[in-house]
Amino acid sequence: MGISLHHISKSFKSVTALKDISFDVKSGELFGLIGPDGAGKTTLFRVLTTLLLADEGTASVAGMDVVTDYKAIRNSVGYMPGRFSLYHDLTVEENLNFFATIFNTTLEENYDLIKEIYVQIEPFKNRRAGKLSGGMKQKLALCCALIHKPKVLFLDEPTTGVDPVSRKEFWEMLKRLQQKDITMLVSTAYMDEASLCDRVALIQDGTILEIDTPQRIIEKFPRTIYNVKASETYRLLKDLEKYEATHSVYPFGEFLHFTSKDAAFTSEELIQFLEQEHHTEIEVSEAIPTIEDSFMTLSKEHSNNGN
Amino acid sequence: METKNAILVKNLSKRFGDFTAVNAITFEVKKGEIFGFLGANGAGKTTAMKMLIGISKPSEGTATVAGFDVKTQSEAVKKSIGYMSQRFTLYDDLTIKENIAFFGGIYGLSNEKIKEKTALLIDELGLHDKASNLVRSLPLGWKQKVAFSVALLHEPKIVFLDEPTGGVDPITRRQFWEMIYREANKGTTIFVTTHYMDEAEYCDRVSIMVEGKIEALDSPKKLKKQFKVDSMNEVFLKLARNIE
């Protein structure tokens, strides 16, 4: 009784935001919706939280239909939208009490659930929400979304614009919440966060490119990736873009990730080519694919198929 | 005045009441360098950047950008730099062409020059079929690429990029960095902030700010060696841990 979508589509005037989306999130699962800005993530969240009607298809959350049971769903899900949506001119404590009252509960009743997060902002409980730092706002928003002990929690890009340290802490917090039997759907544009989810859906242009565990998505990567490095990175990139054996070449941290069209390709051929082009300090080694490699390959195939 | 430094910062501080947002930072950025300016949220990056682009007065210390003092010659600073951020980019309700003409006009380019630049820019970005579309209709990644080109219209010596790739899809994010490389190769100095640690690896040198101070500054390679780790992400986590 997690989340279930069947052939959901939604358009706004000329823009198709979601195209025939189907997938299931199991009860208790931490499920990631991974895709860039404009992929359709927020539209999907709004359909599932009963704020928007889909044009086609059906969906259920915690066993309830998003159209016919919308009132019951609103009582049993938590939603943390991408944009900070608490009351800026209420204090931390007032915001929490406000949301608790709306859901007919109290801060004390579900204190156990939010305790660990709330103690971090409790010293500022008399401060107005608008005056909090980004990290603290995020923690308060999460507390407010949890105050009524929801069965399903929707988190729309909770880590966008957040630095790597705070991002890591936030995910650790989600992992601990998962232990308390809450199903979570989290969206992010940071591909490296995929590995922290049980399963992920890669989404672009309103279409699901792939759904699986992060590990299996990586295992399915169809080619050998080489880490390539030389003293002049930009010239290396330009030369590899022209190289006839190249299937793809992308900057990837301190290396370039290179794949070849030819299945029998060897690193010796690559080194030979680079020496011919007078590159120095050449390093070539096999790399382990990442979700980002998979995403780029799938998204390229998707656009080549005329989508 | 010809020097080899594009940016020269000495004991630069900014205070708001009794809060010190930027605390006596000192560094220099070489001409043609890609300089990554990193730090956790609230570490003081934006405040420091605002002083460097001449829109916020330092409380103490000095900074020279493109040879001009940010305190006494802020107008000259503004004319010799380009700036783009994740938030303020282009006008959504103008077309690509109109945005180019508008910003070209602001920077004092002649009509002829604007025409020439428009053709060049649309050609380089391969936007022939979209040049007369409203910017609103473009995907974020494309907006950012156009915004970067617009920030370069007046051929500034230094470009400041404030989280230019946040939320941009992975392929376009890399195309954006190719544009950065190309521009740096022509001799333009790039000053960039990002939360993507793989992008920190693309920089020639990187500084990491923690609570208003620069705690580390070197090439990614040397920083990784110094902290005995394999990636810039780990360097960042080691330095910026436990600040809030």
Q: Given CA atoms B73, B183, A290, B85 in this order, what sign does their dihedral have?
A: positive
Does the CA dihedral B91-B97-B100-B106 come out positive or negative?
Answer: negative
Give the Cα separation of B131 and B134 in Å (integer).
Answer: 8
Residue B174 falls within a domain, yes or no? Answer: yes
Helix, strand or coil, per DSSP, at residue A289: coil
DSSP 8-state assignment for residue A195: G
Total domains in the fold of chain B? 1
Contact B181 A234 (CB under 8 A): yes
Show Cβ contacts of residue A176 under 8 Å, excluding neighbours closer than 6 positions.
A116
pLDDT one digit per residue (tens) for chain A, 307 residues: 799 999 999 999 888 999 999 999 999 999 999 999 889 999 999 999 999 999 999 999 999 999 999 999 999 999 999 887 899 999 999 999 999 999 999 999 989 899 989 998 999 999 999 988 777 888 899 999 999 999 999 999 998 878 888 888 899 999 999 999 999 999 999 999 999 999 999 999 999 999 999 999 999 999 999 999 999 888 999 999 999 999 999 999 889 999 999 989 999 999 999 999 999 999 999 999 999 999 999 998 888 876 5
- DSSP letters, B40-80, are -TTSSHHHHHHHHTTSS--SEEEEEETTEETTT-HHHHHHH
Q: Does B201 touch chain A (CB under 8 A)?
A: yes
Helix (H) / strand (E) containing B6: strand B5-16
CB-based contact A299 B243, cutoff 8 Å: no
pLDDT of residue A165: 84
Say whether residue A123 is in contact with chain B using an 8 A CB cutoff.
no
In chain A, residues with a C-beta closer than 8 Å to the C-beta of B198 are: 252-253
Helix (H) or strand (E) holding A78: strand A77-80
The confidence score (pLDDT) of residue B88 equals 65
Are B220 and A254 an interchain contact pair (Cβ–Cβ within 8 Å)? yes
Q: For residue A292, which residues of chain B lie inside 8 Å, CB to CB?
A: 170
**Mean pLDDT of chain A, nearest integer:** 93
Looking at residue A297, the DSSP 8-state letter turns out to be H
Average of per-residue pLDDT across B169-198: 93
DSSP letter at A109?
T
Which of chain B's residues have a Cβ under 8 Å away from the Cβ of A250? 171, 174
- For the segment B193-212, the average pLDDT, to the nearest whole number, is 94
| Domains of chain A with bracketed CATH | 3-217 (3.40.50.300), 222-288 (3.30.70.2070)
In a domain, B23, yes or no: no
For B215-234, what is each residue's pLDDT tens digit?
A: 999 999 999 999 999 999 99
CB contact under 8 A, B171 and A250: yes
Q: CA-to-CA distance for A25 and A30, rounded, in angstroms?
A: 8
DSSP assigned state of A129: G
Nearest chain A Cα distance for residue B139, angstroms: 7
> Residue B236's CB: how many other CB atoms inside 10 A?
27
Contacts of A39 in chain B (CB under 8 A): 169
Note whether A163 contacts B: Cβ–Cβ < 8 A.
yes
DSSP-assigned letter for residue A128: B
* CATH number for B82: 3.40.50.300
Alpha helix ranges (H) inside B138-212: 140-151, 170-185, 197-200
- Is B19 within the bounds of a domain? no
Buried b or exposed e, range B169-180, using 16+ CB within 10 angstroms:
bbbbbbbbbbbb
Q: Is the pLDDT of residue B243 over 50?
A: no
* pLDDT value at residue B241: 64
Distance CA B239, CA B227 (A): 9
pLDDT exceeds cutoff 90 at B8: yes
Q: Which residues are B34's β-sheet partners?
A: B190
Q: Are B37 and B191 in contact (CB under 8 A)?
A: yes
Tell me, what's the pLDDT at A306? 62
d(CA A52, CA A44): 9
Are residues B232 and A253, on separate chains, in Cβ contact within 8 Å? yes
Q: Exposed, middle or buried by CB within 10 Å (0-12, 13-18, 19+), for A9?
A: middle
Q: Which amino acid belongs to residue A25?
A: V
**A203 to chain B: closest CA residue:** B169
SS3 call for A47: helix
Is A173 an 8 Å CB contact of chain B?
no
- Asked if residue B62 is part of any domain, the answer here is no
pLDDT above 50 (res B20): yes
Is A135 in Cβ contact with B169 (below 8 Å)? no
Question: What CA–CA distance (Å, rounded) separates B78 from A287?
Answer: 44
How many other β-carbons are positioned within 10 Å of the β-carbon of residue B95? Answer: 18
- Quote ipTM for the complex: 0.84
Residue B244 has pLDDT above 50, yes or no: no
> Higher confidence at residue B17 or residue B244?
B17
Does a structural domain hold residue B166? yes
Identity (one letter) of the amino acid at A12? F
Q: By residue range, what is the domain housing residue B40? A: 31-56+75-240
Mean pLDDT of B90-94: 93
Give chain B's mean pLDDT: 92
The reply to whether B111 falls in a domain is yes
- Report CA torsion sign: A21, A290, B204, B175: negative
Look at residue B179 and tell me if it is in a domain: yes
Torsion angles phi and psi, residue B107, rounded to 5: -80, 5
Separation of alpha carbons B162 and B39, rounded Å: 12
Task: Please report how many Cα atoms fall inside a 13 Å half-sphere around the Cα of residue A76, on the Cβ side.
Answer: 19
Do residues A46 and A82 touch, judged by C-beta distance below 8 A?
no
B127 within some domain = yes
